[in-house]
Structures are given as structure tokens and as C-alpha cells.
Amino acid sequence: MSAPPPTFDESWHRVMPLRARLRPGVEVHAQRFRGQRWYVIRDGLSGKFFRVRPEAYQFICEMERAQSVGEAWESCLEHDVDHAPGQGEVVHLLSQLHRNGLLRSDREGDAEGLAEVFAKEKQSEVVQRWSSLLFFRLPLWCPDAFLRSTAWIGTFLFSRWGAMVWLALVIWGASELVTNWNAFATDTSGLLGMANLGWLYLIMGVIKVLHEMGHGYACRKLGGEVPEMGVMLLLFTPLPYVDASSSTAFRNKWDRILVGAAGMLVETGLAGLAAVVWAYTSAGTLHMLAANAVIAASVVTLLFNANPLLRYDGYHMLSDWLEVPNLQARAAQMMQHLVDSHLFGLKQSRNPAETRKEAVMLVAYWLASWVYRLTITLGILFLISQQYLGFGILLAVVFGFMWVLLPLLKNILYLMTSPKLERCRFRACGVSAALVGGVLAFLWLVPFPNHFRADGVVRAEPFARVYTAVEGRMKKLVVPSGTYVTAGTLLVELVNEEQLFDQMNLEGEMANAEAQSRLALEEDPVRYTSMKTYFEALEIRRKRLKADMQALRILAPCSGLWLAPDLSQRQGTTMSRGLELGVVQSSEAFSISAVVRQDDVSRLFTREQVRGTEVRVVGQEGSVLGVTTFAAIPAEREALPSAALGIAGGGKVGVHSHQPGQDRKLPGPGMVDSENGKATYATEPIFEIRADLRPDPAVKLLHGQRIVARMTLEPAPLGTQWWRLLQQTFQRTYKL
């Protein structure tokens, strides 16, 4: 699929008489990538690598024997005319070798040219380091001698016994975390707090040193060299690094993958060990350090090192596994080729992919890595700015320069000055302007469906909760659950032996009092008069006892469907006063009560009128319910319609305890028709939406079910909607 340079090249006459060959000290290693043989040229001085095909390697070998470049090319033609490189490919190869300082020739001043190449490379490295402050590297030490003297550590780590110890630590630590997850979440809730930040940096630095040493020991064990170790600034955080790039020359790809995975294997083993230490220590410095170590050696490793979409260990492992060296660079070249050839009309653009499948893979990788890097960057900014707003703003400015301004300037410079676009510059500028204008018009002019959501609950009309007003033993479930009842229907009968005994005693006391009153009327009128108060007290006791006896017969408070699914299993058990037995709810008329936050309330009372409402019941999302009426109450409130809408009940609204001085009332005889007795209050003002539901036989509705109501508004461009969402996020998160 890739088109090689032409057989004949206009620059051939300039390189044909030269005598060129590889510079002394350059090593060549044979490797296989996806069943094809390649050769890796390694410069022992700079540590750089250069990959060439067998045809190019054959030409390099011929250069060692030939008197000139032209003679070497002719020898290749005589050896295999079908696979010999063309003149354009030879010119391209020689220019790359010379640019990387791997070539020497008989041209006068070659040494000076080579020195100039090295000087430019060093200067480029310095500029690159200082221009990327978020990923700045500072070499400090050559650890190769130390790794050789302590090679026994690497021998153990990457042996069968080392693997068994690692596996045991990971399993043990993971089991401890699963068993004590709630406690671990509590201990790490203040991970980015100022009091813990210093300890987190300290433990992360120690873990990353061991991580990099793992790379070094694996590289040394497999025959590589580790010439450099230093400090890298990652998001202004100092972290160590080692140069294990010599593993690139390993023939076996699994050896290269092991070197890439060595650091993560060390970290996961440390995470398991730290989890065990955390589980078996009490609150203190060691306990806190162990919790920090678990996060630093697991979460950070998974988000960065293990992820192949970032240029860390996972990326190099994926490249070796797919046998696609320089995966990210080739993906960027692939996207550049697509733009140049299909949009700008540059016919000479060279496709870096060998096959169509590889081209699709490169495009997919570029898109996935770009989206992930953007997501992880925004996530880091959001997380840091919540704790340290000023530092978050500084990072946002830096990222904005790196991700927006700098690429924009580079692309403009490419359009204006690139020699490749000399013949199609007008078309390239026009297409670029049209694309930018088209995207802006699409985002800010084209209307799209506009809606917002509100969480709520189902309300049956009518609905009543049925409670026990007095204590008693369940004698009989008169009406089984699921039966339609009318108001006043006897549902449950209770019995209370103490009340029966009290009734008998009261009857005896009243009979005795009647006899004494008749005697006092005949013998002592004054005493008879004083007994009126006693009779009044007995009457009050009689009425109260009668009410309690009547409360043992639990009646339906309203007409509807009687629902008490577990009550039949409680036959003969004693039920305390105030116990909820079930509910009586309508099976025909239902409404919803939903809450809207302040962020969205303006949409209800401004020109963005609600054009339609759709309701989905949680657990039955496949069916959509309509509404017959819709009303937004134009008054803010704090009490939620249901505790299920608060965070404590599984909802999304932040809540706090009851308002001061508001006590829950005891249920009256038989029922309570409200949730006000257990109301939960939102941490921010809310507004309520009420609507009557249009019934649907396919949806089973019950009072208190959670729903999500989607209100459709006037269509609006995506840019407008996203800008509003961004404003709401800032207002909600930073109170701006």
C-alpha cells in the first residue's frame, strides 16, 4: 500500500559519486516484525536506533565494498533487480542516515559535518526539554555499573520464585482491599489534601525509583545496557526515569515486552504488599503511608504506565506486541498523509502504512490516543482545581498553550511555508479555512435537539401508607395483598391480651364505682358529689381503651390496590406501634414529582419553554411514558419530594439532616399519607415539577418508584448547549 520513492531521482547525480558507509561503532541487529525481516541500526554513541528493510540493508552492505554510491546501487541491481531500492529510496535512506549521524563519506569536511549533526541534535534535545516543561528530563547518573554489581536482584525478580512471590502479594493485597473496601475508601478520601500531599509525593517518588530500577534490572538480565538515570518532571511532579532503550535491539519481542512490563510488575507487587501492611496496621504514619502507596502503585500505574494510549510502558509493549515500531509517530504520519493526499491534493504524499489493515489500525490508534489524552488532561485539571484552584488555572493555561495555541501556530506555519505544499498551497489554505468555518458553523449555527433531565418519583393518586396504631399480635390477614379494596375495608385483625385484661378490669372498676356512688347518694351526699371526678377519669380510660380496641382492626384509609407482599408470613407475630404494614395505592391515576436544580430552572420560566416531556421509570427504561399535564412551581424549596432523590437514598441531590426543630410525628390510627415525616433537605435550593402520567399497560407503576423526566426544549446549536453546560459545571463546582 505504501508507495516507494521513484526509481530515478533528480538528486541522484549529487550522491552517486560519493563513497559512503556506516560510521564505526554503529551496530546492526536483525529482527522480525509481522513475519518480515528488518534490521535495526544502533548508534552506540548516541543510543539511537534506525530501522531499515532487507533491501536497504543489502545496499548498506554493498556500500562497504563499493567505491561509490552509484557502484553500490548497480551491485544491488545485479543481485536482485526486482527488490533493489530505487534511486529515490537510496537518496532518502542516505539523507536519514546522515541526519542521524550514522554515516561517513569521503567528502571533504565530513568530520565537521558529523560534529555539526551531533551539535544540532544536542541543541534540539535541550530545546525540546525546556520547551516541554510538563515532561522535562534531567539526566543525573549512569546506573549500569550498579545494576551489574547487584544483578542477583534482577535474577530473583524475573525468575519462577520471583513470579510466585509477586502473584502471592497481588492476590493477598487484592483480597484485603475487597474485604475492607469501605475503610480503605475512607482512609484515602483526603488523598489530595494539603496535609497528605507531601506524603503522597514522597511515597510516589520511592515507588517510581523502584519502578525504574525494575526496568533496569530486566534490561541488564536480558543483555542490554542502562546508560542513564535521572529526574523527569511530569505535570511539575519530579519522578525518576531510566534509559532502557537498548532493549529495542533485542531480537525476541517478548524480551522487549518484559522490559516494558518490568516496572509495572514491580509496582503491582508493591501495591499488594502495601495493601497487606495497611490491613494489618492501626491508624498512624505507617498505616497512612501504606494507603498512599496502594493508590500510587496501582491507580497511577493503570492510568498512565499501563495505558497504551500514552507514550509510557504500555505504549512500548503494544508496539512490540503488534510489531509496529514508532506506533504513535506513524499514526501521526498516517493522519498527515490522509490530510495531504485527500484534502490538500498532494499526490506525492507517502503512505506510511504497509497494508490497508495497518492504515485503519493507525488511524484508530491516533483517534483513541487523542481522545484519551484529552480526557485524562481534563480529568487531571478538574481534580486538581477542586483542591487548588490557582494551580489548576495555571495548568489550564499551560495545557491550553500546548494543546490549542501551539498546534494552531504549527499548522498555520506548515500551510504558509512548507515546501511540500508549494504547488497546492492555495487549495490547502482554502480547504483548511473551509474546514474551520464549517466546524464553527456546525457548532454555532446548526440547531440540534435540546433537552435536560430531572430526577423524580412516581406518586399514586390516592396513596396511603398503612401503619399499626397500637401494639398487637397479628390474628388474621383479612384481605390478601394485591386485592383492590374500598375505603373502610377491614385489612388486618390484631389482638392484644393486655387490652382485654384492662377492659375486664375497667368494667369491674366501673361497676364497683356505680355501687359506691348509689350508697354515697343515700348516706353521704358530699362524697357523692366528689366522685364525679373519678367517674370522668374512668370514662376517659374507657374511651381510650375503646379506641385502642378499634385500632386493632386495621381498615383501608382509601380506595385502591392493597399491597403488603410480606405480611402473610408474619401471622401470629407481635407488631409494635407505628410499624408499616403496607400501602393502599391507586392502580389507575399516577403523577410524577421531579426536582430541578438552579442550573436548569431558568429553562422552565424563560423563552426556552418546555415543548414536550418524556418519562422513563428506573428499571423499565425500555418504555417511555407521556404526560397529560405539566406544571413547574415557581418557588424554590429545600425539602425533597422523596428521600429516594437524595444521595443517601440513591439519588443525585446533595442532602443534609432535618431542619432544626422539625420532629417526625407519630402516625395516626391506621395510616400516614406523606413522606414529610421523613423528609430530607437538599443542600442547595431546588424547584419542583409536577405532571400527570399517561398510563401504559406495558409499564408497572408503584408509588415511590424513581423516574427520569426528559424535558424537550427549543432546538439550539451544540456550541450553545456545550457552553451552557460548561458554565453550569463551573458554577456548581467552583461557585463562580
* Residue 668 backbone dihedrals phi, psi, to 5 degrees: -80, 180
Residue-wise pLDDT for 700-733, tens only, equals: 888 888 888 888 888 889 988 888 888 777 776 6
Span 507-519, pLDDT tens digits: 787 777 777 777 7
Which residue segments constitute the domains of the chain, with CATH numbers given?
Answer: 12-128 (3.90.930), 133-323 (no CATH), 325-374+400-436 (no CATH), 463-582 (no CATH), 588-734 (no CATH)
**Within its chain, how far is the Cα of 148 from the centroid?**
41
Per-residue buried b or exposed e for 678-711, using 16+ beta carbons within 10 Å of the residue's own CB: ebbbbeeebbbbbbbbeeeeebebebbbbbbbeb
Give the residue with greater pLDDT, 401 vs 276. Answer: 276
495 contacts: CB under 8 Å, gap ≥ 6: 472, 473, 475, 552
Element (H, E) at 258: helix 253-279
Give yes or no for residue 48 having a pLDDT over 50: yes
Cell 384492662 identifies what position? 502
Region for 47 from its dihedrals, namely left if φ exceeds 0, alpha if ψ lies in -120 to 50, beta otherwise: left
All cell numbers assigned to 557: 384509609
Position 614 pLDDT exceeds 80? yes
Q: Can you spell out the DSSP letters for 498-510?
A: HHHHHHHHHHHHH
- Conformation bin of residue 43: beta by default, left when phi > 0, alpha when psi is -120 to 50: beta
pLDDT in tens, 298-357: 887 888 888 888 888 888 888 888 888 778 888 988 998 898 888 888 887 778 887 888
**Which tens digits make up the pLDDT trace of 646-661?**
776 667 776 765 554 4
Q: Residue 692 in contact with residue 629, Cβ under 8 Å?
A: yes
Angle at 657 between CA 575 and CA 186, to 5 degrees: 100
- Residue 108: band (very low, low, confident or very high) from pLDDT cuts 50, 70, 90: very low
- Which contacts qualify for 301-306: CB closer than 8 Å, 24 or more apart? 301/264, 301/267, 301/268, 301/271, 303/376, 305/211, 305/263, 305/264, 305/267, 306/264
Would you state the pLDDT for residue 661?
A: 46
Q: Phi then psi for 186, rounded to 5 degrees?
A: -65, -40
State residue 9's pLDDT score: 58
The winner for highest mean pLDDT among 19-23, 126-130, 277-281 is 277-281
CA-based torsion, 287, 291, 294, 296: positive or negative? negative
* Three-class SS state of 602: helix
Is the pLDDT higher at 378 or at 7?
Answer: 378
pLDDT band at residue 118 under the 50/70/90 scheme: very low
Run of H or E including 630: strand 627-632
Alpha helices in 474-597 (DSSP H): 497-523, 525-551
pLDDT band at 107 (very low <50, low <70, confident <90, very high): low
Structure-block grid coordinates of residue 622 = 425500555
- Which pLDDT belongs to residue 367? 92
Confidence of residue 272 (pLDDT cuts 50, 70, 90): very high
Handedness of CA 253, 258, 264, 265 (dihedral sign): positive
Q: Taking 80 as the threshold, does the pLDDT of residue 27 lie above it?
A: no
